[in-house]
Each structure stands twice: as structure tokens, then as C-alpha cells.
Structure 1
Amino acid sequence: MEHITQNVDEWIRRDTKAITELVSALVQCQTPSPPGDTRGAMILVEKFLSARDLSFKRVTAEDTMPNLLSTIPMATEGRHLMLSGHLDVLPAGDEPGWHDDPWRGKIVDGRIWGRGTSDMKAGVAVMLFSYYYMFQLRKYLSGRLSLALASDEETGMGRGTGHMFTQIPSEMEADCVLSPEPSGTEAITFSSKGYLQFNVSVATRGAISGYPNQSPSAIRIAADIIRDLDELENISAELPPSIKGLLEDAHYREWYNAMYGEGSAEVIPAISVNVGTIAGGSSPSVISPGCFFEVTVVTPTGMDPEVVFKEAKAIVGRYPEAQIEFEGADIGDISATDHEMPVILQNVVTKLGWPKPKLTPDIAISDLRYWRYRGIPGFWYGPDGDNVSAANENVEIQQVLHLVRTYVLASVQYLQEDSSL
């Protein structure tokens, strides 16, 4: 194993500038979702793979949202390890406080700046270079290593990883999946919360503003419904034992809040209701005849979103002027905490001189759910994500290089043919 580690260190030193510039170039390929057009970023990915004689294929539901799968067969048969990531990112530009163009990909002060740096253009670069280095080490290994890059992760409408599972299910099956989603380098994420999305429309007769006797206001009714939907947060949930046990530890909760922000540990078992968009009315002089709003409810791991939607329907049903429409839902997903991959990651990270990462549940949703739902273990280990949805998102270059080392060495251990390597 020592000579492999030396080779990897040498390759990373040689490629440090190239790794950094690839992250920056991927940020400059604007891929906000919506609309989720990732074609420019996918061209960069395909050029990277082609230049290194790494074969791939597209498995695409919509032309503007390409997906890619590439697989390296090792020297002998064995297990299948999958690297999973996405090219789309959250929108940017409306948040206050940006000190530069969010799509510039500026490299300064040991960091790369811009929307998508941590979620997850840096992660894509980590996977690409790790995948290439593993290709060079394939004669020492057994099994297969695959790279799955998807679009449509941020909106989660099934046109990315979900589509690949529909089209090439046998090729997407794996023994374990890793993803450099922004967990923070002191954490390995083993679960995600679920979500429920629905919209509510309110319709009334409408009238001139001075005649409230002629019509109620659709906006006022919508406001009352939004207030009442807070009742959903009172529904109790039974957490899986692996999550419940962690949160019962006061020291763990203190660490978790320090890692992810005060109050984060308390959010893990809670239901949260968010009204993301609202539209209504045509004039301040008219009692609004219509109002429409969209809601996302984030549910604890282990809770059935249908239970929450049934209660939401009952709440909206109190108002005869209103209708509710289901948009989508995913139950929270989880992997066993006693799987060997977290142990491998922890050992690799500590040998590299970094703090031992703790196993953590997460709030955010990822494409790992497609594997976890099928009983395939999947884990995040990625950069810090403090500003993922805020101004001045950035990633530390040293973290990116650390992640490349970690992914290669952990993958080697998982796929090694001979434990004496």
C-alpha cells in the first residue's frame, strides 16, 4: 500500500494546478437548477475522460440535462464501487453579500469561489481525478469502479440518477456508493431526511377593495392556511435507532451543532414546513380572487410523507375556497452505520493527519437515496458546505486535494485484491 500512497501523492502534487483549475472551470459553466442546463459542464467532463482514454456513455432523459456513466474493470472480478455526483447547482445572484460574480470561479486566498464550488463542482473534480488515478492502479485491484454523473439532482424530478436506474439498472447496481457531497471533512453522512412537496390554490369571486361583503380575499385565506400548516410540525416521528442513539448523546449533539450550526441537531428529528413561492392579486385596489403557493415539508428519516400529506389535506380542507395538489415525495434514506466503508474512510483520513470523521445523519437530500432505497449502502464524504445556499460559496483547495487522496486510498482498500498491498 505504501508505494500506491507515494504514487498518489506524486500525482496530486503534479496535478494540483489542474485540479484547482478544473473546479474553477466547472463553476464557470453555469448550471443553476432550475433550469438545470448542464451541457457546458458535461462537455468539460467528457473532454477530461476522453483525453485519458476513459470510455463513457450518456444516458439522458432530456437533451439539456445529460447524464453519464463510466466503468473501469479491474484486473480480476470482485466488488463494484460507485462514485456518484451531480452537475447542477443551486441558483445564485439574488442573495445579498456576493463580493464577486458568483459564476467567475475566482481562485484566491487558497480557495475557489462561486456558486457550486462545494455543492458540488469541487466534488466532481475530486471524482474525476480519483477515477483517473484508480484507472492507473487497476492492475493491483479487483472488481469494478464506476463514475455516475447526473443532472437534475437539485430539483429531484427523476431525470438524472433516477432515469439512469430506469434505463440501465444492472449497470447502476453496486456494492457500495461514495459521494463527495458537502458533508464537511469531519463527518461521514449515512442518512438523509425525506421531503413532501405540494401546492395550494385559492379561488374567490373577488371585488373592489371597498366591498369585503362581496368576496373574501384569496390572499387572506392563503395566509390563514399557511399559518395552519405549521400544525404539521407537531406530528411526532420515530427515528431509526442509529440516529436516535447519536442524538441522545449530549456530547455528540454539541459537536453536531458546532459542525453544522447552532440548532442543527434539533432539526434532525423535526418536521419543517417551508412556503417557497407565493403569487396572488392583481392590484392593491382589488380584493384578490386568486392566490397560489408552493410548499416543501422536510420529514425525519423513517417517517412516511403520506402521513404528513394526509394531515395537510385535512388542513386545507377546512377552507372550501382552497384546493391542494400533490407534487412529489421521497421518504428519508439511510445506510447501516456498521458498514466497512465508514471505517475505511476514518482510517484513511486519520492516517493522512486529518481529524477522524464522525458518522452523521444529514438534513439535505441527495441522489444516494436511489441506492439506499435498494439496500445498497451509500455515504457522503465531501468539503465544508457552510455557504452552499448563500453568498460567497467557496471551497478550500487543500480540502479538495485531501478529498482526492482520501477517495483514491479508500477505493483502493475497498477494491484491493491483496490485503498486503
Structure 2
Amino acid sequence: MAIIRVFLSKRKNSNFWQMRWIDPDTGREKWQSTKTNIKRDAEREAGRIEKELNEGTYYRRSTISWKDFRSRYETEVAVGHAIRTQQKIGTVFNYVETHCNPKRLVNLNETAISKMVKKLREKGLEEVTIKNSLGHLKSALEWGKSQKLIGQVPDFPKFRRARTKKAMRGRPITLEEFERMIEAIPEVIKPLGKSEGSLERHAEIVASWEFYLWGLWWSGLRLEESMNLYWDREDALCVDLEGEFPMLRIRAEAEKGNKDRMLPMTPEFAEFLEDVPEDERTGPVFNPRANKQYRDRMLPSSVSKIVADIGEKANVVVGDKGNMDKVTGERKFRFASAHDLRRAFGMRWSKRVREFELKELMRHESIATTQEFYIEENTQDTARSIWAACQADSRSTSRSTRKKSPKRKKSHRIKRDSYST
């Protein structure tokens, strides 16, 4: 590799000494001011720049705007990620523009990032969400450094590591609670009119939501997976009822783990799907409908909100938000969501299959996730059942002993003092 030499020169239109060298990438001559008219200081600066050029650490302060940086990253880097990841990156960049509003990339420094974290906390975002968002931002800035757009990546705030195990935001709901949600659907999605046509359309909409919620209950699918489940599309999550066992085919683009997979389907969900007439097995499996249909299908975010509204109307409380309502002063509760139906599915099957089988059924990337959220809870249930059975058996034995055993003599009784020896 050729050594880069930096030379000093004087230009007629400048009082400062100028450095010049040949850029090895372009073959063109580059000039840069030393910002001094003292030759000895200029030589020191030229020596420093020459050293950085040969070590590959040279950086010239970039003037790229934040807008141009975002455009480059989204079109050159983010586009290669999964759709969900692209959406998260876009959300993080929106946070930056809302709370930092940097004109240039170099304006996004430690102070700006710290202020953004403060604003996100005030907004109510959880620590893990903020931490993950900063991870995407840091990756983007590291790419900017590799492109010589910034000299160094700013230091990011450190988050304290939680000492307790990660808790579920909700909980597995019971069958009785789920049936209450089914009954609450007409109370959330009300008819737009009283005409026969309006009532008939309303009945169809309610039926589409009943089918959807039962599908979540039996399948354990994540909400976005369920909205991307098709009967006949190879480029999406697809149902396959033709083989020896019913299966789900998941393409990498449609799955959180970003891998092509063939996964088993539970018998209950298979029977649920087989009840659908064959001539209706086209397009999306689930298509919950809205009263006001603005597009062909509802967005996952809209579906999620309506499921949460149904959980609230059914009064299925799954947790405490940990804060008070600023208007009423009452404690805020978390009501059942689509993911709580998935939790219920996981808890039911944790009692029927081994943990590595449950991992595949839940499509967890790590067995640790399965163990953390389901196996320990199942162990608690097992312990509870064992103790209940033991206590019931003890009461039964005690009753039978009182009825059948002869009265013992006083000499057979163990004195309390004997335990102390």
C-alpha cells in the first residue's frame, strides 16, 4: 500500500498554510487549511493529518444534513432488513426529529440523545422500548461513521440491568374471560343503522370478529402473523392442510425470527380451519371487518386497538399500568389484548408438551424465552396442585383415622419435650 504524503503550500488568496495530498480513492489532489500562518504549527498539523491518512483514521467534519443522512440510511441499509425492522427504524428516526430536530448529523450528540431519552420516558415508553430504539439509532450512526459522515459515534446512555426476571405485560386469560370477550363484541362494534340491511351487515361484521378471536385462541399466532395468514399465497404465512399433518409454512419476510420454516399446527386449530367450506379457502384466513371500510382490509394497528377495546368492555383485567389517571385520579389497569390470547394458548400447551416442543409451537427464537414465560408459571401450577392434593389426602386420612383407630393410651403419646433432645 502506497504511503500518503502531505505537503505544505501557500496560496495567494489565503494567509494560512495549506495542506495538499493525493486522495488514494479518487486519485485527485485535495487541499485543506491548517488554520495557522505559523509554519512550525502548520508542519505539526500536516504531520498529524498524514499519520491519520495512513492509519485510515482521518476524518473531515461532515456537513451532511440529518434529512440527507436519513434518506441514505433508509434507502441503502434499512431496505435490506425485514419490513417490521424498517418500520421500527422509521419510528426511531421520527423520535429524533420530534425531540432533537437536528439540522445536521453532527448535531446529534450526547446531549441531544440524553434529552430525547428524557422526553421518551415522560411520554410513558418503557425502559426496554427506549433501549431497543437507541440500539437502532446507534447502528445507524455506526454506519455513518463507516461512511466517513461522522468522526465518532456519540456515547449513549447506559441502562441499569434489571435484577428480577422479565415479567409479562399481561397474563394468560381463562376460557371464561375469553367467552366474555366474545359476548362483548356487539357492544364494541355497534350497527350504524336500524334498517334490515344495516343489521344484516352488522351481523356479518360481528361474525368476522368472532371467527378472528377464536382463531387467535386456537392458533397462538401473533397479531401481525394472523393478519398475514393466507390460504393460498406462497409469499406469506400459509396454511397447508394437504400433508400427513396440517402445517404452517412461514416465509422469512412474514415471521419475527426472519427464517423460512415449516411448523406444526395444533389439532384444535386444524379442526377450526377445516370447518371453513372449501370454496371459501382463498385469500386471507382472517379478515375482521370495520363498520366504516376505508380500504380492502383493516391495518394491524386498528385491529389491535379494537381487540383491546373488546377486552376493556368485557372487563378482563390482565395487569396494572402502575400509574394514575390524571383526570379521575383512579389507578389505570391493563385490559386483555390480542397477545393475551397467545399467552393463554402457550400456557395451555405448556402442560401438554415438552419445553423444546413448546418453543417450536410458540416460534420463540430462544428456549430461554419459553422457559421464562411459561415453564416457570407451569411449575407454580404443578406445585399448587401437588400441595392441594396432599392437603386433601391428609384431611381424608385424618377423618378415617378418627373414625377407625382405637383411642391411644396416654403412654403412647410423644411428649413435646422429646423434640428438644
- TM-score category, normalised to shorter length: under 0.3
Larger radius of gyration: 2
> Is the helix fraction higher in 1 or 2?
2
Q: TM-score, with normalisation over the residues of structure 1?
A: 0.21
Q: TM-score, with normalisation over the residues of structure 2?
A: 0.21
